[in-house]
Structures are given as structure tokens and as C-alpha cells.
Amino acid sequence: MPELTDYSGPYKHDLVFEDFSKEFLIKLMLQWRRQYLRLAGYWYEGIQKRVGLETADEIQIEVFKRIGERQLPKYLPISGIQLNTCLDSLKLGQLVPESWMGSELFDGHVDIKNDNHLIVTCTHCVVLEFFERTNQLERIPAHCQVMELEATKAYMCNPKIRVTALKLPPRDGPDDICCQFEYLMEK
């Protein structure tokens, strides 16, 4: 049977991912990514309405740290990545739905000094841009200065990697970078 390029045909009770073309699966994954990130946003908004901004921020930090601690390691046997270097941990981070790999949501670049010393710069972040556009600047400190740093540390899945924020929002203007982190393996 040929690979499906969409699912416009008849219902297939025994449908499996292998039935679809690579192109369709990529489109599906990108939509899952958008949904995953919106789910996190909707959840946060619902919690904030009920318990307030400060408590919602604390819960959000806890959730992202737990994802880094408990979910990201599950990608290791699938990917074959061994966490020996900072670059290995960065590769692991590319595989999660909220990564910037192939994303219209986030963009940036990595300055690889060596496998254990990286400077990661984010130049486009829809979350920060949303806060700026909707004048929710009060959310920037907790999200961008605290949660993002804590989540980044947890997402490295290696306690020997020291993550240092070199530049955090607020930005000087729309042409300024969003944030910048240094990853360095402790000896």
C-alpha cells in the first residue's frame, strides 16, 4: 500500500504512523508542537486566574523542571545520544516538542567553542514577543529570567553542566536578542 500523504480517504481502523509519508508526519509533528505549547499556555492562564501570578509562576517552574528531570531522559534510548558533553545535551534538547529545531516559533544560533563550551543565543521567541506585544511585561521576569533558566538547567539532563544566563529580557528593542546562555561542563 502506498504511503498516505494525508488522511482524506476512508477511515482505517488499523492505522499506524508507518502508513503516512515522511512529509505528512513532519506536518503532523509541527502541529503537535504548536498544540503542546498552546496547551502549556492555556494551562498557565487557567492556573493564574485561580491562584494568581506568583503561584502560577512557581508551578510552571516546577512543571518544566520535572519534564527535564523525568521526560527528557526517555529520549536517550530512542536517539542513541550519550550525555558525555554539553553538545550531547544540546542535541537532546533539540528533540523535544518545545525546541527551536525547524520551528517558526523560536530561532537562534549556537557558538560552539568546543564540545563542552557553548554560547546559545535566541533571536526569535514567540513567548517573549507575545509578552511585549500584549504589554504583559510583568510576566517577563518570572518566565524569562527565572523559569527559562531553571528549565534550561533541567533540560541539560547533566548536573555537571553549568548554565549561565549572559543576557535576559527585557530587551532594548525588537532588534535586540531575546536571551543568551552559556553552557560549560564543570571539571
> Into how many domains does the chain fold?
1
**For residue 118, what are the β-bridge partners?**
112, 183
| pLDDT for the residue numbered 104 | 79
Task: Let me know: does 178 contact 122? Beta carbons within 8 Å.
Answer: yes
Question: Domain containing 66 — which CATH number?
Answer: 3.30.1380
Q: Residue 102: is its pLDDT beyond 80?
A: no
CA angle 16, 20, 24 (to 5 degrees): 130
With bands split at pLDDT 50, 70 and 90, how would you rate the model's confidence at 105?
A: confident
When pLDDT is averaged across residues 26-46 and rounded to a whole number, the result is 91
- Residue 16 within any structural domain of the chain: no
Judge whether 71 lies within some domain.
yes
145-179 pLDDT, tens digit each = 998 999 999 999 999 999 999 999 999 998 999 99
Confidence of residue 7 (pLDDT cuts 50, 70, 90): very high
Boundaries of domain holding 131: 53-185
Report yes or no on 166 lying in a domain.
yes
Would residue 44 count as lying in a domain?
A: no
pTM given for the model = 0.86
**In this predicted structure, what is the pLDDT of residue 153?**
92
Whether 172 maps to a domain, the answer reads yes
In a domain, 22, yes or no: no
